[in-house]
Amino acid sequence: MLGQGIIKGLAETARNFVGSYFKPERLVTVQYPEERLPPFEAARNFPFLVYDQNDTQQRLRCVACQICEKECPPQCIYIVKDTLKTPDYIGKPQFQPKTFDIDISVCMSCQICVEVCPFDAIKMDVAYELSTSDRFGQLLLHKEQLARSNQYYQKIHPAEAAEIDARLAAEKAKAQAKAEAQLKAKATALPGATATD
Amino acid sequence: MGPQHPSTHGVFRMDIVLDGERVVGLKPVFGYLHRNHEKIGEGTSYLGSMPYTDRLDYFCSLTNNWAYALAVEKLAGLEVPERAQYIRLITAELTRLQNHACLGGFLLQDMGASGTPLMYAFRQREQILDLFESLTGSRMMCNYMRFGGCRCDLPPGWAGQAARVADEFPRFLDEFEALLNENEILLSRTQGVGVLPRDLAVNAGVTGPMLRASGVNYDLRKADPYGIYDRFSFRIPLGEHGDVYDRYRVRVLEMRESVKLLQQALRDLPQGPVIDPKAKLRGFRPKPGEAYARIEAPKGELGFYLISDGSPNPWRYRVRAPSLINLTVLEDLCRGHHVADVVVILGSVDIVLGEVDR
């Protein structure tokens, strides 16, 4: 009979429509501005720079090595090294970026800067609703706007941050132990050195 | 017709010569979305091209990643660990599911079924995109595969959720088919429309579901198995007439086979590393040479051809895009049909302009 297929299809639509009143799994829409889904742990949007929370000077982990600048596929990172070295979290003198700009209108959120960074200094944010009316001023982010505390990073990517914190703490302990050993060696070697002189 | 026509799936123009309502000639005009993909690939490092491949066929970024990773692995002689092979297959089949589901929806939208089939398909696609986001961090621009494996391991609970999505998928397909398969409007709009003869399909180099709808049994997963496809049992659905209806049916049946593949792969998923320890991220310089790798992407045979001269970026980077080559037969499909059928035929070719124009 002509029209049988259409009626069969309409029955399916009706089943879905009526079902949406009784079965919560059929209601898949989220009323966005009022309701928000929590972001996934792995979610990524734009990069930010990490500083450690117990650091009063808010020292960035970034040492201005410029690897991310070189590897960034759309070339949206711009770094100028500072001329002065300051001690980092294990007391080793390191450079800091004088300028660190990311043009997020060019950034394509590919996460390659995060992957190549050997210092765990740049990470991906999950913030959205970043629209602005000023295309040139507001979308070129400077060092100050990019800096976020480690606490913030722990909040948005807990598992990843815990792993990195453990690794950094271990490195710090190792460096301290090494420094102490060197100090001791110096103290014991010093009299001997004067004797040979 | 076009470039801003809603049915052209992007910015695509067709110069159509008409005799009354009948099409007598059709010339596709493309390039509106051209963005120098291949030249950029020669300018950036091997790793730097990976996120750009996401933007080729933006519905199926994971299969694009896979094809490119395969080509570079061939060039550099990298081994992919077992677990990474499984993850790649699982993500590729999920990509195929969501691509075909969407295509079904878009095709029906082009025919005037405004919304219902498309929304049913999108409801299902959303579950798969959620899986992608929790694994790779992004819904569409996944940038997940690396040379010699994958970027990160599966998050806890991911495999279970993927298995649930795969198990529920046939229910959606039953619903979709009950809604559409016998619909008289669908049948009269698609049967006998846009017939692609078997010899023309082969001569024009058409691949993917379009070729199989014309009855040619050619699927790279069987014909030239890459990855670990040779370990699983699945069938290749074939069409008979090569018309729009067959192309739609072949895709629906292919989704059922993909579900089977997913269930097998998720059952056997081994433990282990996900990346070759020899693979390095920075300073990657393969030896001089050339490589061509191809996979069965949801739209057809997707190939990457690379020539290395030993420097950090490829000397030549070429993409064999299935959408572009499948589009070359458009004039032969449309000749003699009404203008309204052009829309449906173009929908059944399954193009993504990101890949056509590159």
Inter-chain residue contact B282 with A6, CB threshold 8 Å: no
Mean pLDDT of A52-80: 79
Nearest to B66 by CA among B38, B97, B87: B87
Phi, psi of B172 (to 5 degrees): -65, -40
Restricting to B residues 279-298, those with a Cβ less than 8 Å away from any Cβ of A are 281-282
Mean pLDDT of B239-251: 88
Q: Which site among A111, A114, A124 would you substitute to test the B interface, given the most B Cβ atoms closer than 10 Å to its Cβ?
A: A111
Question: Beta strand pairing status for B149-150 and B145-146?
Answer: antiparallel
Q: Which of A6, A42, A115 sits opposite B281 (nearest CB)?
A: A115
CA-to-CA distance for B80 and B77, rounded, in angstroms? 10
Which residue do the tokens 């590897």 mark? A71
Interface pTM, i.e. ipTM: 0.77
What pLDDT is attached to residue A1? 65
Q: Which of A43, A73, A124 sits opposite B51 (nearest CB)?
A: A73
Inter-chain residue contact A112 with B181, CB threshold 8 Å: no
Q: Which of A4, A9, A108 sits opposite B179 (nearest CB)?
A: A9
Beta bridge partners of A148: A50
CA-to-CA distance for B155 and B135, rounded, in angstroms? 6
Average pLDDT value for chain A: 80
What pLDDT is attached to residue A58? 64
In tens, the pLDDT along B33-53 reads: 888 888 888 888 888 888 888
Average pLDDT value for chain B: 86
In tens, the pLDDT along B56-77 reads: 888 888 999 999 999 988 888 8
% of chain A residues with pLDDT over 90: 0
Q: How confident is the model at residue A197 (pLDDT cuts 50, 70, 90)?
A: very low
CA-to-CA distance for A144 and A123, rounded, in angstroms? 15
Nearest to A62 by CA among A142, A118, A103: A118
pTM, two decimal places: 0.85
Peptide bond into B225 cis (omega under 30): no
What pLDDT is attached to residue A53? 60
Q: How confident is the model at residue B305 (pLDDT cuts 50, 70, 90)?
A: very high
Inter-chain residue contact A41 with B134, CB threshold 8 Å: yes
CA-to-CA distance for A176 and A161, rounded, in angstroms? 22
In tens, the pLDDT along B72-126 reads: 888 888 888 888 889 999 999 999 999 998 888 888 888 877 778 888 888 888 8
